[in-house]
Structure 1
């Protein structure tokens, strides 16, 4: 059983406990365990079968015993007891962005919502707007989230921190075997969540790079491999695409696979107006028939008459016009941050209300 599958069970227990009104510390303990399992760079199943699961931070004796039970019987007894008490549809609803267990419980108590279909009916009838703590804006957000779920855009995603940790481990593991290597895709754009990871590399020895990729601790299974790259799955279940290119075209490939799709589509449209065609292989000039390959992204954008666009801005929200006109915004860097304020209220494990904290 992959780490991601094991972690999903413990995330589910956390949700079940929260729906059941358990104390915050119990919910947090299961969430922390799920996070530790999902982000582990080795097989948690192998650790558990060796009696070493408790070596993971956030996994104590009790959690380790539940992992053993899951691996042996396919279920966790404490989760089964909770499932007998709580409508199965409530857990499913918590997977809709913006609807955590507490809000789902409110909808269940106030409107009798017990499934995705119940939620959809309530939204279509405009009933969420009148529920305390929701309102018209929240109802519209839920409506949009349901539409995305219907379109298949919501499932199978990993939060950025999880995906980024895995991606950076892969990049560092490949660095000794590549002349250039970098993360691409939604992780490089720092999207909130990622369905998979894209890694772009340049090397003089593609076979050695593929072998190094397959041998990384974080990789569970290599699905395919060849001179142009490889596809694999990590222990957490996160798919990874490694794409290999000659160094002289590294900039083109990195730009292409960083995306987003909307940004690249707009870039291609802009290029056509200039008599050019953009692809991952280079920029083709219609008049001369020549294809220009570039080692850096900066050269790609410069060839199209633009400043380099930071990955975080590549969502087709006016960034290409800003790049042409030299008015791209400066992004906030780590050095710009002067402090971090984090407080808990009585809504969780704090001792004061928001109002009391504001007055203080």
Structure 2
């Protein structure tokens, strides 16, 4: 986190210092740099599903890692050449408020003859600390002009891209409620007469890490509504993604690893507004919603002291997430001019 802060403190002033040496003209080739500051809220979810289950739901466990006001910084750079463009981006967490981790189990789902007992048996809540989050991405595409005159224009930019992201949480403190066994089945977690309460104060409970590799196909619409204002809307989907997760239960000294690939597993919606200050500078305000549906895959486990994971033959892992980002950015353009065109100014 300190390295990310040092990078932005150094890079942004340097970029603003050297830019006046370059002429700001529109033309065939345009390079841009866009420092970004944003805030994110959302949730990362992990699951355990039973491979053989006699009941309607095969969900055995679910953990919800809630992100509460994560502030992040980043930069987006790229170039436009005629109709073609490319874009590269990196971002990372600056700091985040404490969130909530909720852990739920349905232990009776693994029992025979327990049709009437498919309720939540275990539940715990802990403080969720976002320890790290960073991502990097790239995309290429081209611009098609659907409409243009001296006052307004409309374009569409189809693209293909790729994103790598990594996120890590630590759950500490909190309280757990475990339903006691009554004969052959387990009682509900909130049964005051048949449950056990455990205090996790001062303890590390669970740590979770996930890396995601996401391929994207999508498009962005850009509408120039005046010489100073551009509105954009976009949508993209993932034809294929792969997520890999590691869950460490500190109190049980156990580690669980999940590999969850999927087709059409993630979707992204974007809205933004750009105000053009000059031929070189503009400011943007944007909102983005990311949704990853529940994906399933192989699950592995081992003790903390063991060196090798073993494939779990009775269950499989699951992963999903959703985020809402609000970001403010400043776009800086450098142009190499061959033939002046209003199209290049309003990308």
Instruction: State TM-score, norm by structure 1.
Output: 0.20
Q: Which has the higher strand share?
A: 2
Q: Which has the higher helix share?
A: 1
Structure with higher RCO (Cα < 8 A, 6+ apart): 2
